[in-house]
Chain A
């Protein structure tokens, strides 16, 4: 697994960040629904990844997006928060007999219930952090934004899982 970790995840990093900057930057639903697909990179990392590495990766991916979005620090802060919470959420969602060595944050392996709970909790936290850091005050409109954006990102994450993370390949 170690040998494949590097290349596969580096490719995923580049792909998701490129998708975010080149495509999803322009796709906004009704001026309220944003899609921050780059966090899929953090969601799809192996379950037993080192927490420190995860935090650093969260910072790096958030910072890269920040540089392109001119929102210095906002996405980095939200991604670091996501990276910090991810192991805790994984602990909460542990199956009855613990995680197996072959388990991955994958819809086909873990099932719909597990994956949707896992993804949506983390996406909500991340989006809430982004939108509140952006305005630093409370508005009801922001809640609508968070809700719609979470749905948007969530649906795209699920579609990505269905399209590119087939059950066969995951079992390998």
Chain B
């Protein structure tokens, strides 16, 4: 017994080393697998405060870009509002005499117009961001208090950004699209062909679109949008445009490069997408035995 203790004491440094490394490996594996509560990451209250302070300083340097993005987004929204106003003015069925004309069932029409899903957006400021690592994350200054939950999608005004990983009261961590294990279900807008967008590292403006079969006709400049086949993103959110298409001899799919619509290095405001019918749809699909593929 004494020999054992003597042995342990002699190799104490090595044993502590092995223990610490084992703990680190455990942390790495655990953090990469589970989505949800994690205390020690940038959504932590104190860490978030430091990052907020930092972005408070650095935000001044890209105020001009932020302003122009917000202005263009405003213009777009105004246009949309105008469109609706015009349709409502042109649509005079409601003013007709109900005894002569049967009104269309507005609930059905409305649900068709807005699509089968309804989404709420929560605006959040990006307080920490990276684009050059292998696995990039963002930290937002909104958390559970603002209705953010793990698993929600995150979009910017011009396209898809990522997915919420962990949330604390006031902050949340987002797995960026620029993450080696992030996959986004997408489709080519022109012909609705479904594929998967992923990022292979390197240039943060380019991702690839996988699983597009060879019979589909493609052209440079085609728009790639989200498919809406899962509950994370609404259908039709911009992902990017095709920048190059190549056929490789030994593959049955195209190799397509996509120029991402979002400039991740310039992100300052994003929207967290809350899907009101996520629970319902997920339970239904789960009960039907459909496994979520992404």
Interface residue A44 (Cβ < 8 Å from any Cβ of B):
no
State whether B28 touches A74 (Cβ < 8 A). Answer: yes
Most chain B beta-carbon contacts within 10 A, residue among A56, A71, A74, A84? A71
Complex partner residue of A70 from B21, B54, B173, CB under 8 angstroms: B173
Interface check A147, CB cutoff 8 A = no
Q: Is the CB of A52 within 8 A of B12?
A: yes
A77 within 8 A of B: yes
Q: Considering only CB atoms, which chain B residue lies closest to A87 in the complex?
A: B13
Instruction: Check if A16 is an interface residue, CB within 8 A of chain B.
Output: no
A134 to B41, Cβ gap below 8 A? no
Instruction: Give the one of B12, B38, B173, B201 with max A CB within 10 A.
Output: B201
Q: How would residues 49 to 70 of chain A score, 1 for a CB under 8 Å from any chain B CB and 0 otherwise?
A: 0011001101100110011111
A163 interface residue, CB < 8 Å from B?
no
Residues 2-26 of B, flagged 1 when their CB comes within 8 A of A and 0 if not, give 0000000000111011001101111
Tell me whether B82 is interfacial, beta carbon within 8 Å: no
Contact call B31/A72, Cβ cutoff below 8 A: yes
Interface residue? B223 (CB, 8 A): no
State whether A70 touches B137 (Cβ < 8 A): yes
CB contact under 8 A between A67 and B16, given known A73-B28, A134-B134: no
Question: A80 contacts B17, CB within 8 Å?
Answer: yes
- A109 at the A/B interface (Cβ < 8 Å)? no
* Least Cβ–Cβ distance between B74 and chain A, in angstroms: 29
The digit string for B200-239, where 1 denotes a CB below 8 A from any CB of A, is: 0111100000000000000000000000000000000000
User: B202: which of A31, A69, A134 is its contact (CB, 8 Å)?
Assistant: A31
CA distance A8 to B26 in the complex (A): 33
By a CB distance below 8 angstroms, the chain B residues around A31 are 132, 202-204
- With the chains together, A172 CA to B202 CA distance in Å? 47
Asked if residues A68 and B27 are in contact (CB atoms below 8 Å), the reply is: no
| Docked-complex contact B25 and A77, CB < 8 angstroms | yes
With an 8 A cutoff between CB atoms, is B42 at the interface?
A: yes
Cβ-defined contact, B134 with A52, below 8 A:
no
A70 touches B41 (CB 8 A): yes
Q: For B84, list chain A residues within 8 Å (CB).
A: none
Pick the interface stretch among B44-52, B185-193, B247-255.
B44-52
Complex contacts, A39 vs chain B, CB 8 Å: none
With both beta carbons as reference points, the residue of chain B lying nearest to A80 in the complex is identified as B20
Q: Give min CB distance, B231 to chain A, whole Å.
A: 24
Whether A21 is near chain B, meaning CB under 8 Å from some CB there, is: yes
B166 (CB) vs chain A CBs: closest residue: A70
* Interfacial chain A residues near B170, Cβ < 8 Å: none
**Are B41 and A76 in contact (CB-based, < 8 A)?**
no
- Is there contact, CB below 8 Å, between B30 and A72? yes
CB-nearest residue of chain A to B20: A80
CA distance A130 to B13 in the complex (A): 22
A67 with B28: CB separation less than 8 A = no
Task: Contact check, B26 vs A84: say whether CB atoms are below 8 A apart.
Answer: no
Q: Contact: A135 with B24, CB < 8 Å? A: no
Interface residues of A in 75-94 (CB under 8 A from B): 76-77, 80-81, 83-84, 87
Complex CA distance for A140 and B24, rounded to whole angstroms? 25
Inter-subunit contact A55/B42 (CB<8 Å): no
- 5 shortest A-B CB distances, which residue pairs? A73-B27, A72-B31, A77-B24, A73-B28, A51-B13
23 interchain pairs, CB-CB under 8 A: A58-B20, A62-B24, A66-B40, A67-B42, A70-B135, A70-B137, A70-B139, A71-B133, A71-B135, A72-B27, A72-B41, A73-B25, A73-B27, A74-B24, A76-B20, A76-B27, A77-B25, A84-B13, A84-B14, A131-B134, A133-B28, A134-B134, A135-B134
